[in-house]
Amino acid sequence: MDKNTWNILLVDDEVDFIVTLAERLELRGVNPRVVHDGESALKAVADNVPQVIVLDVMMPGMKGIEVLQKVKSEHPDVQVILLTGQGKTRDGIEGMRHGAFAYLTKPLDLEELIRTINEAINPPEGIPHV
């Protein structure tokens, strides 16, 4: 599947970070949607179910883990990649217990993110797409 057809949702309350990330992805042929909080993420998912959500764990209001749980309960095929602050490995591990596909730490390596999104959409042979 070509990157420009990927249906990706980026969710992070750090507006400058997520807008810059979206712009950098667009330069590589990925056209994500962007929202800045958990409630908006759930609405965006209801309006157009994405293949992959790149989701910040620590946001004001609804936390990323709560968004993850709600999305997975209604749309189990949506793959969620959690973003955690440095040193927050336990947040990523908790997210994996709740069905996250992967977790990545900030600062984010763009190529690693694109690789992880690709694996979430196109799992390697022999690895089930959960």
- The residue range of the domain holding 34 is 3-120
pTM score, whole prediction: 0.92
In a domain, residue 126? The reply is: no
Residue 129 lies in a domain: no
Asked if residue 121 has pLDDT above 90, the reply is: yes
Total of domains in the chain: 1
The CATH code of the domain that includes 111 is 3.40.50.2300
Q: What is the rounded distance in angstroms from the CA atom of residue 109 to the CA atom of residue 43?
A: 28
- Secondary structure string (H, E, C) spanning 38-97: HHHHHHHHHHCCCCEEEEECCCCCCCHHHHHHHHHHHCCCCEEEEEECCCCHHHHHHHHH
- Tell me if 127 is assigned to some domain: no
Position 80 in a domain: yes
Residue 87 has pLDDT above 90, yes or no: no
The pLDDT score that the predictor gives to residue 90 is 76
Note the pLDDT tens digit of each residue in 3-53. Answer: 889 999 999 999 999 999 999 999 999 999 999 999 999 999 999 999 999
pLDDT tens-digit profile of 94-120? 888 999 999 998 889 999 999 999 999
Is 75 part of a structural domain of the chain?
Answer: yes
Task: Identify whether 130 is part of a domain.
Answer: no
Is residue 128 included in any domain, yes or no? no
State the pLDDT at residue 71.
98
User: Is 129 a residue whose pLDDT tops 60?
Assistant: no
